[in-house]
Structure 1
Amino acid sequence: MRVFAVILAGGQGRRMGGADKALLQLHGRPLITHVIGRLQPQAARLMISANGDAARFAFTGLDVLPDETAPGPLAGILAGLRAAQTGGADALVSNPVDAPFLPPDLVSRLLTAGPGPAFARAGGRDHNATAFWPVALADPLAEFLASGAKPKIADFAARHGAQPVDFPDAAAFDNLNTPEDLARAEARTA
């Protein structure tokens, strides 16, 4: 199975003082480089979903996909699915830019759920943005976003029978949403 991956680089973090989360420093490197390092070995192609000036990610060498619809994680997933379809992939794995500690077997474990969508679960918590999406869901996702339904990943995933995949290490899915989260992550071993 040919799997592409998309990093959801959603822009400014409200609780991070409006800074571009992807470019915040963790262990002396932009946060996005940590996610790239975790996902790149696991996918045939890696892309970034982000609006605004794509040149800010030129240092990554990755394609930057703008949202087709109103901004949000599902719009980024749709952009990734469209690029995956065009690129001949069977599926897409999505992950937010503020979750830099992903397990090295993320993609292979998500694939164990079967041919349909799947999402990570760890420590009793669902991580709906860290998910596996068959490319056949591109059109249904576009329809869902156009329907006026509240654009929640969990709602769309549930409509399409997404299965949870349990991971043993909850810290692998830590989200860095606040300066305190970033400080705790900085204290972790690189």
Structure 2
Amino acid sequence: MRIFGVILAGGQGRRMGGADKALIRLGGRPLLFHVIERLEPQVERLAISANGDPGRFVRTGLPVLADTAPQGPLSGLLAALDWAAALGGTHVVTAAVDTPFLPDDLVPRLLLAAETSPGGVAVAESDGRLHPTSGLWPVTHADDLRAALAAGEARVQGFANRLGAAPAHFADERAFLNLNTPEDLLCAEAMMRGGPADGETP
């Protein structure tokens, strides 16, 4: 079993004023670097899924995978499955670039959950919510995904459901906090300082 990883960095950050989410700074560092730090030790190889100028990520030293037909994060997943398969990878673990607090046991727990899935697929779950962009996907599903995209599938959870994805439970719901707005960013800054998150009592 060879587990590769991909960071889905194709979001346009509309609620962040159109900024490139991957490069938005949290604690003085781009969000992308927080996710690399969390995910890279858990996988054999890591890549970034993003369109546009790959040069903006040159400092990471990671390959940048562009979509052949951009249709959202599922297109990024397909590019990652094809990339991993060509290099002998058996599975891809996905993570969104705006989830800087990913757990350091994400991959082993996804693998454990995937044992109960007919398709060998697992997605993270916390506090009763599924987080399908944090998932484990066998590369053998690349053609299934190609067909799903051709049929108009646009939702990661929709594709996961087709494959009978199993939930991998994580107790800390903040591990999958995704930063969509400036308010979310302020909340994350408070968490990094050890202060209360938005809505918590000091």
Same fold by TM-score greater than 0.5: yes
- 2:94 and 2:37 mapped to 1: Cα distance? 14
SS at match of 1:188: helix
Letter in 2 for 1:20: D
Give the structure 2 partner of residue 2 of structure 1. 2
User: What are the superposed Cα offsets for residues 50-91 of structure 1, whole Å, 9 maximum, x if unpaired?
Assistant: 000000000100000001222310000001100110110110
| Percent of paired sites with the same residue | 57
Q: Which amino acid aligns with 1:142?
A: R
- Alpha-carbon distance in structure 2 between the residues aligned to 1:189 and 1:35: 14
Say how many residue pairs are matched: 189
* 1:127 alignment partner, SS class: strand
Give the structure with higher Rg (CA): 2
Q: What amino acid does structure 1 have at the position aligned with 2:165?
A: A
- Of the candidates 180, 185, 194, which is equivalent to residue 182 of structure 1? 185
Is contact 2:10-2:51 (8 Å) kept? yes
Please state if 1:168 is matched with 2:167: no
Aligned equivalent of 2:146: 142
The within-5 A match list for 1:86-105 is: 86-105=86-105
Task: Please state how far the C-alpha of 1:123 moved relative to its aligned partner.
Answer: 1.1
Structure 2 unaligned segments of length 5 or more: list them.
194-202
* Distance in structure 2 (CA, Å) of the matches to 1:28 and 1:71: 31
Query: Is the partner of 2:192 in helix, strand or coil?
Result: coil
Tell me the CA shift for residue 189 of structure 1: 2.3
Q: Does the alignment pair 1:120 with 2:142?
A: no
Q: What letter is aligned with 1:170?
A: E
Partner Cα separation in structure 1 for residue 148 and residue 11 of structure 2: 23
Query: Deviation per CA, 1:113-144, whole angstroms, max 9, x where unpaired?
Result: 21701000001110011000000011110111
1:188, CA displacement in angstroms? Answer: 1.5
Pair 1:31–1:85, CA change in 2 (3 A): same
Q: Please, what is the CA RMSD of the aligned residues? A: 1.0
Gaps of 5+ in 1: none
Structure 2 counterpart of 1:18, which letter? G
Cα distance between partner residues in 1 of 2:168 and 2:11: 28
> How far, CA to CA, are the matches of 2:79 and 2:64 in structure 1?
10
The 5 A counterparts of 1:1-190 are: 1-113=1-113, 114=115, 116-148=120-152, 150-189=153-192
Q: TM-score, normalised by structure 2?
A: 0.91
In the alignment, residue 87 of structure 1 is paired with which amino acid? Answer: L
- What amino acid maps onto 1:136 in structure 2? T
